[in-house]
Amino acid sequence: MNRRSLIFLPLFLAACSKSGKSLEDLLPHELGGWKRGDVTTPAEVPAAAEALGAVGSAGALYLGEGRVRVRVLEMKAETVAFELMQRWRPQTDGLGTYKGRHFFIAQGEAGSTPETVMQLLGLLQKAAAV
């Protein structure tokens, strides 16, 4: 291995590594008036995500303007998360969005509206970017 290769090896390895946040970190305790309950790992993975090779999952219940069940899936790559977004059917498994290689799913429960579910998904997406 030459000297130039040794200089670029750490940069290459850093680019290929996972993000520094764990799946639990992607589900903050408090977020814009929402409070998270206990995190469950692994969480149920919908068939569409399973077919694309989800590599990890976590889930939690958020309480705020109603109750919203949230799952975050770690996909192999951002392109796979994007592909899942293209195939996603919200009527079956809840509303979905992605940030990087992470796909977020939210299903409203008692007292929540589609608007509050979308608001929470947007907050989770923004928090994942930090």
Q: What is the pLDDT of residue 62?
A: 97
Compute the average pLDDT of residues 85-92: 89
Question: What dihedral angle (degrees, nearest 10) is formed by the CA atoms of 98, 14, 22, 30?
Answer: -70
Residue 14 lies in a domain: no
Long-range contacts at 18-24 (CB < 8 A, ≥ 24 apart): 18/74, 19/100, 19/101, 21/128, 23/56, 23/57, 23/58, 23/72, 23/74, 23/102, 24/58
Name the domain count of the chain: 1
- Structural domain harbouring 118: 19-129
Residue 11 lies in a domain: no
Residue 12 lies in a domain: no
Instruction: Tell me what the pLDDT averaged over the chain comes to.
Output: 86
Residue 8 lies in a domain: no
pLDDT band at 53, cuts 50/70/90? Answer: very high
Compute the average pLDDT of residues 13-33: 73
Q: What is the pLDDT of residue 11?
A: 41
Q: What is the pLDDT of residue 91?
A: 80
Q: pTM for the whole thing? A: 0.82
Q: What is the pLDDT of residue 129?
A: 81
Integer CA distances (angstroms), 51 to 40, 41, 74, 109, 112, in order: 21, 19, 13, 26, 30
Between CA 42 and CA 88 the distance in angstroms is 20
% of residues, the chain, pLDDT over 70? 84
Residue 3 lies in a domain: no
With 90 as the cut, is the pLDDT of residue 8 above it?
no
Q: What is the pLDDT of residue 92?
A: 80
Collapsing DSSP to helix, strand or coil, 111 comes out as coil
Compute the average pLDDT of residues 106-125: 93
Q: Peptide bond before 90: cis, by omega within 30 degrees of 0?
A: no
Q: What is the pLDDT of residue 49?
A: 95
